Structures are given as C-alpha cells and as structure tokens.
Amino acid sequence: MSWRDPASTRWRKSVVFGYQWHVPRVAVNCYIAGMSAGTSRAKSRCAQCEMPESQCECDKFCCLCQSQLDIRICQDGLMYCEPCRAASDYKTSD
C-alpha cells in the first residue's frame, strides 16, 4: 500500500481525526452546542416510553427482583426498588 493510495489516506485521516474525519469541524461544534441541554437538572426518562417519571404510565416493577414496592426510574432509564438501588448505587433524578 503506497502513501498515495486512497485507502491509506482514509486510514491516516481516521487515525488523526477520529471516526468523524469526514465531518467538517465547524459542523461538529455546532451540533454539540445545539444538542446541549444546558445546565438544567436532568430528569430520568423511562427506557420503554421515553417519558419523564411523572408522566410514565408503564407497569412499574424492579428490573432486577421484579418487586412492585417503592419503584423509581433511575439515570439509566430502568426501574429499580429501594433495596436494589441501594445495593447497586443507582441514583434517581431527585
């Protein structure tokens, strides 16, 4: 493979610029700024319906032990009971 081979150029660019070597830097910076949620407090969303915990109408049960007592949505979008949250250090949005 020579230095002027297109395949080697692609490999060299991907090593230097990462997996987004074909996207202009200005577009990447604008995309990141536009998608930023700001400094507001994040609300946990249900992984099933993608609604905030206050609006979620899914059946609530712990994904680890299937308990139905004291269920809350955690940062990963799954529902956990209090003992499982304490044992695995999952945090709710409150």
Residues written for the chain:
94
Helix locations, the chain, DSSP H: 6-17, 25-35, 82-88
**Residues 56-90 pLDDT 10s:** 999 999 999 999 999 999 989 999 999 999 999 99
pLDDT tens, 8-59?
555 555 555 566 666 666 666 665 555 555 555 667 899 999 999 899 999 9
Its pTM stands at: 0.56
